[in-house]
A and B are shown apart, each in its own frame.
With several copies, the nearest count.
Chain A
Amino acid sequence: MDKPYKWTFWKREFNSPILLASGTAGFGLELMEQGFLEGAAAVISKATTLKPREGNPPPRIVETRFGLLNSIGLANPGVDEVLKTLLPQAADLPCPLIINVAGESVEDFPAVIERLEESPVPFGYEINVSCPNVAAGGIAFGASPEIVERIASLVKRVSSKPFSVKLTPNEGSIVESAKAAEAGGADAVTICNTFLGMKMDWRTGRAPLKRNVGGYSSPALLPLTVARVFITSEAVDIPVLASGGVNRAEDILELLACGAAMVQVGTWLMRRPDAARELREDMINLLESCSP
């Protein structure tokens, strides 16, 4: 029954539209070990930066009533260690790996990509210009279309592989930034990273997160992603990868109906490590029950 369902992305055919979102699946190694990658079209890695990053002080995960705040701060071992240790192991993944790349400066992005090009493992890249948990000038690069275009074109120059630019919903115009990514040569845009959020303890006047604000994710944010995917899909010709709020098969179908090429699952994967299999199965059942 699965036969007719195919999603094509970056010239490859997949039997699922589900991508595992950056930061919630590591490099896919733990999930592979447990046999949990069935149903995933590809894994998107934790952000990789030029130098190793410790990440933010804990706590890094704080729950709110209806969602989750994270303040990971791009903790990662740096591109050298990724190349040496993680990518060789990731060669065994049963699905492609897309490397999420972050930077502290515009030049960091092509520098990381140049190094990653040494490995045959990555299927492509996701350029993270939108992390709410780092201090780089206070503003995510993604807020400025000019900077987005510049980063995209620098990456284009050094990359032999396709890449998506992951945008922020917190500042600037997501549509203008998406157009800028396309103009710079991006092969997709990811809509979008987490929303800036915060929790405050009114009794103590202190925020549980040391940096006060963090990235907020919640199934209740799905309509925000739906709107942003819809308006972006209308504005650009490159594929749009949807990210934010997915925890049901219906959510995936809704985002695909809005023009998404593929749909990412992040926070929900932490709740259900085999979310990709579950969601894909539910989705195919829904499609079957609808088709004549």
Chain B
Amino acid sequence: MPLSFISEAEPGRFLQLEVSQGSFPVTRRPFTISSVAGNSVDIIFEAVGRGTEILAETKEGRSLRLLGPLGCGYRLNSGKWLLIGGGLGAAGFPGLAAGIDCDQVLLGASSRGKLLTIPGARTVAITEDGSSGTKGLVTDLLGSILWDSYGGIALCGPVPMMKAVIEAIPVKARANVQISAEAMMGCGWGACEGCSVPKAGGGFLKCCSDGPVFPADSIDWERWEGIH
């Protein structure tokens, strides 16, 4: 990995991997940069479809074309941070946690096997089937949070989960929430208008170049949930 890549791989940015050598699938696949160490970069992914299945079968040592780092990452506000992740939404948290003053991480997942580990961060987990931590949804963990004590709140996961979390946050604290968005992507670098995320007040944001990290209040959550 060239050093320029590493030095620009700020928390929240992503890369586009060319999963196929051939013509199909036509597009690349976007993955959050999970963490960087030395001259290597980690991503965490789940095989959910064609591209990630090819990736899962790719042998160690094979080289793949990659574009990045792309997009805008987290604004690294000072103060303590709270990280809230659902499933693989937390894929970017290791790198983020390493770059900020991370107070705690709340993680939700369907089951134990889907919970990520965020090295060096105090983590509270909850699973839908109770196989790790209590049984329930990440929103069940929010009751005792002192929202005003955080300089930054990072939130990433499925849209309905993020929406539910935001609705549970006192309005004043919402301004500190940064979410990391996902959308189907064409180019990944701002040219095709393919990766739209509904913008508060109308219109669309480009997930790939306006984001993927956005202030939570820049999003039109109603419209966004409607898409999913």
Contact = CB atoms under 8 A, between A and B. Distances in A.
A contacts B directly (C-beta below 8 A) = yes
Q: Which of A57, A268, A270, A273 has the most CB of B within 10 A?
A: A270
A267 B196 contact: no
A58 B184 contact: yes
What range describes how many residues of A lie at the interface?
A: 35 or more
Nearest to B22: A219
Contact of B192 (A59, A247, A270): A270
Given A247-B23, A273-B67, A60 B191 contact: no
A255 B223 CA distance: 30
Interface of B is mostly: loop
Contacts of B26: 63, 67-68, 217-219, 267-268, 270-271
Interface in B16-57: 18, 23-28, 50
Contacts of B183: 58-59
A268 B190 CA distance: 15
Contacts of B187: 24, 269-270, 273
B184 A55 contact: no
Interface string B127-144: 000000000000000000
A273 B195 CA distance: 17
A86 interface: no
A90 interface: no
Given A54-B203, A68-B26, A61 B194 contact: yes
Interface stretch (A25-33, A99-107, A124-132, A234-242): A25-33
B156 to A, nearest CB: 18
A207 B186 CA distance: 19
Interface in A71-119: 72, 75-76
Nearest to B29: A63
Interface string A14-36: 00000000011110001100100
A97 to B, nearest CB: 13
Interface string A42-65: 000010000000110111111101
A218 B202 CA distance: 32
A62 B183 CA distance: 11
A168 interface: no
A270 B67 CA distance: 11
B204 interface: yes
A63 B23 CA distance: 12
Nearest to A274: B67
A223 to B, nearest CB: 12
Contact of A58 (B25, B28, B204): B204
A179 B25 CA distance: 36
Interface of B: 18, 23-28, 50, 67, 183-198, 202-204, 209, 223, 227
Given A66-B23, A269-B191, A270-B26, 4 more contacts: A68-B26, A219-B23, A220-B23, A271-B28
Interface of A: 23-26, 30-31, 34, 46, 54-55, 57-63, 65-68, 70, 72, 75-76, 217-220, 247, 267-271, 273
12 contacts: A24-B191, A58-B184, A60-B186, A60-B193, A61-B195, A63-B27, A70-B186, A72-B194, A247-B23, A270-B186, A270-B187, A270-B192
